Amino acid sequence: MRKLAAGNWKMNGTAAALDEVRSLLAAHPAAGCEMLLCPPATLVAGMAAVAKGSALAVGGQDCHPKASGAHTGDISALMLKDAGASHVILGHSERRADHGETDALVRAKAEATLAAGLVAVVCIGETEAERDAGQTLAVIGGQLDGSLPAGATAANLVIAYEPVWAIGTGRTPTLAEIAEVHAFLRNRLRGLIGDAADGVRLLYGGSVKPSNAAEIFAVPHVDGALVGGASLKAADFGAIVAALSA
């Protein structure tokens, strides 16, 4: 299995930020892992042009479950593909919180992503209150069951475990907590899609940075990272790529 270093730029970046991508590619022309950056939709085509012929894949951060239609302000997986994307992040906790996205909606979006021939990066994770209440595995197990697209395979699905309380806070679970969740997810996924589960990349996300990347990547069943803040700077994301490639 090839490990995956994925970056989520969220609502950050204008065309000038593509210089960071040029710097990243100059420093890591042939990374030992897959690299993916998901900029705002306005930058997908521009980033894809910069990344053309390189080891960097480009993705969207959300899509509509339909391919086209009267849905003002939305964007479809087909449109993202047309702009040069190969992946789409679905069900990020910020979308679940800001836009009330349910597991069923995330699943529909993920299925639209697969139908367009793109890879779905499905995000799940517990809140701090849920962890404190001892509900972590029940919550993420339910999210995985409810968000998993029909037709998922090792090639078209990536799962990102992102504890909500670790996103953008500088706080991370202990390595033992990450290990517990990732082993649980691998097992749960086996029950859902059989042996294909062993090839699905399970990313950890939440305050990954150059200083903690190597220890997190050493945890069993951690097959890469989904990185927010640290993906905006070529030097930081490049250091995480290097840690994953080691």
Binding site for ligand PEP (CB under 6 A): 8, 162, 167-168, 205-208, 226-230
Complex with ligand PEP: residue 78 or 140, whichever CB lies closer? 140
The DSSP code for 127 is: -
Closest residue to ligand PEP, judged by C-beta, is: 228
Q: Indicate the burial class of 186 (C-beta count within 10 angstroms; 0-12, 13-18, 19 or more).
A: middle
Q: How far apart are alpha carbons 215 and 154 in whole angstroms?
A: 25
Shortest CB 232 distance to ligand PEP, Å: 9
Catalytic residue among 20, 34, 94, 162: 162
The DSSP code for 112 is: H
Angle (nearest 5°) at CA 170 between 167 and 174? 85
Complex with ligand PEP: residue 94 or 103, whichever CB lies closer? 94
Shortest CB 178 distance to ligand PEP, Å: 13
Q: How far apart are alpha carbons 93 and 212 in whole angstroms?
A: 22
Task: Tell me whether residue 162 is one of the annotated catalytic residues.
Answer: yes
Shortest CB 233 distance to ligand PEP, Å: 12
Shortest CB 167 distance to ligand PEP, Å: 4
SS3 for 74? Answer: coil
Give, for 4, the enclosing helix (H) or strand (E): strand 4-8
Q: How far apart are alpha carbons 18 and 167 in whole angstroms?
A: 24
Catalytic residue among 92, 101, 182, 221: 92
Complex with ligand PEP: residue 78 or 238, whichever CB lies closer? 238
Active site (catalytic) residues: 92, 162
